[in-house]
Amino acid sequence: MRNIFIVGARGYHANYGGWETFVSNLVDYYGDKETRFYVGELSSDSQRDKIMEKLDDNLFLSPIYVKTKSSPKMFFYAMKSYVYVLKYIKDNNLRDCYIYVLGLKLGPLLWFNKMLRRKYNVKIMVNPDGLEHRRSKWNKVVQVCFLLSEWSMLNHCDKVICDGLGIQKYVEEKYKKLKGKTTYIAYGARKVDFTEIDESAILKEYKLKKDGYCLMVGRCVPENNYELVIREFMNSKVKKDLIIISNLSSSNYYQELVNVTGCDKDKRIKFINGVYNQDKLAVIRKNAYLYIHGHSVGGTNPSLIEAISLTDLNILYDVCYNRDIGGDTCLYFKDKGSLVTLLNNKKLLDSSKKTLGSEAKKLYENNFTWEKIVDQYKQVFK
């Protein structure tokens, strides 16, 4: 029996964000009766703390209670999860296990536990996600902590799994000893069956019309370039709306964004506070005239893969992480004025929508279905 422990996601169900969506799809698509997954789950119930729960023969949840609600919560959760996993392996005398750590929140813990790992032949896989120390949402102290944690974790793991070619290049150039210990496995997107989805009802619910709007989806943080996109859109001649779906109710940046851009005075710009029903979000993506992806930091961004699989025309912020995914199937912007130029060129947009959409779908089918992504993980956990 192969045992894989996953540390760093908030749980198995995809009801929060990218890591959770990844975990649920990895487990659901794996389909190997000889593999057991143990997934950490962030819990607010102290009575469930560290009580392993069996969901089925191949999936176990380990609730980890974290009392604090402050910013370091996820650091405490990841560390507590990792320590518990090692104890569980030792107590149950499990050998030849894998621990897959999502993110860079464990710091020196990997180094402290080398002896136990060696005794039980535990392999540590680390997915660094994006370059956390470059994210503007963190203050300087947290950025330095992430940088130190990155150094410690990547130097004391067995393999680094990068979900972006740009991330893999960064790791191999900065940590020369890791060359040969990295592998690139992108993110995936599910195939959506629209035959039993009432698209017209969903569009009506959000007061949208097919091809009547441009779309942005993502967390409301500065590195996703909302300010740049909004300013460019406001300066464009586009008659369609710009629909922005984001975590408005939990974002400190949202009101600042409205204040600095004055976008509340432009009737074309409309915000929607999160759409977490995946079928509804898929319909909104599919029927958008175009999708604008402003993410500038990270590896394979889930919303970009979803856009490529569903939206016929995608305009991406021009960084290597986005080009690695979109390739020649997307249009790109970066400098001030470049997005305005694209948006005002209706002839280019219309022709690109006809030609690039089908190419993007082929790209998705060939590289980013969950079946293909999980097959690559099976090669890692063999």
Q: Which fold has domain 2-184?
A: Rossmann fold (3.40.50)
How many other CB atoms are there within 10 angstroms of residue 233's CB atom?
A: 24
- Residue that the structure tokens 């990270």 belong to: 298
Q: How many CB atoms neighbour CB 303 within 10 A?
A: 21
CB 178 within 8 A of CB 158: no
Its pTM stands at 0.88
CA distance 58 to 11: 15
Q: Is the dihedral angle over the CA atoms 342, 345, 349, 355 positive or is it negative?
A: negative
- Check if 2-184 and 194-367 are the same fold: yes
- What DSSP designation does 239 have? -
**Average pLDDT in the 299-308 region?**
87
- Is a pLDDT exceeding 70 seen at residue 16? no
Contact 39, 64 (CB under 8 A): no
* 202: confidence class by pLDDT, cuts 50, 70, 90: very high
pLDDT of residue 225: 95
Query: Is pLDDT above 90 for 21?
Result: no
pLDDT at 70: 67
Q: Summarize pLDDT for 315-325 with one digit per residue, the tens.
A: 999 998 899 99
Ramachandran category for residue 288: left, alpha or beta (phi over 0 → left; psi -120 to 50 → alpha): beta
Q: How confident is the model at residue 135 (pLDDT cuts 50, 70, 90)?
A: low
Task: Give the Cα separation of 335 and 51 in Å (integer).
Answer: 52
The residue extents of the domains of the chain are: 2-184, 194-367
Higher pLDDT, 104 or 203: 203
Of the ranges 9-13, 113-117, 192-196, which is most confident?
192-196
pLDDT on residue 357 = 94
Lowest mean pLDDT of 39-53, 231-245, 305-319, name the range.
39-53
Q: What is the pLDDT of residue 138?
A: 67
Q: Which two structure tokens, joined as six digits, stand for 60?
A: 């176990």
pLDDT for 130 equals 67
| Position with higher pLDDT, 357 vs 136 | 357
Single-letter amino acid, residue 181: K
Check residue 196 and report its DSSP letter.
G
* N-term to C-term CA, the chain: 11
Q: Do the Cβ atoms of 268 and 242 come closer than 8 Å?
A: yes
Correct CATH for 194-367 of 3.50.50.60, 3.40.50.300, 3.40.50.2000, 1.10.3720.10? 3.40.50.2000
pLDDT reading at 60 higher than 90: yes
pLDDT over 90 for what percent of the chain? 75
Contacts by residues 374-379 (CB-CB < 8 Å, ≥ 24 positions apart)? 374/25, 374/26, 374/29, 374/30, 374/188, 376/185, 377/26, 377/30, 377/185, 378/30, 378/32
- What per-residue confidence (pLDDT) applies to 136? 62
Burial (Cβ within 10 Å: 0-12, 13-18, ≥19) of residue 91: exposed
Beta-ladder partners of 271: 244
What one-letter code names the amino acid at 58?
A: N
Under the banding of pLDDT at 50, 70 and 90, the label for residue 164 is confident
CA distances to 195, 252, 297, 352 from 330, rounded to whole Å, are: 27, 31, 18, 8
User: In whole numbers, what is the pLDDT of the chain averaged over residues?
Assistant: 92
Neighbouring C-beta atoms of residue 73, cutoff 10 Å: 13
**Helix, strand and coil in the chain, % to nearest 5:** 45, 20, 35
Rounded to 10 degrees, the C-alpha dihedral 115/121/123/124 comes to -20
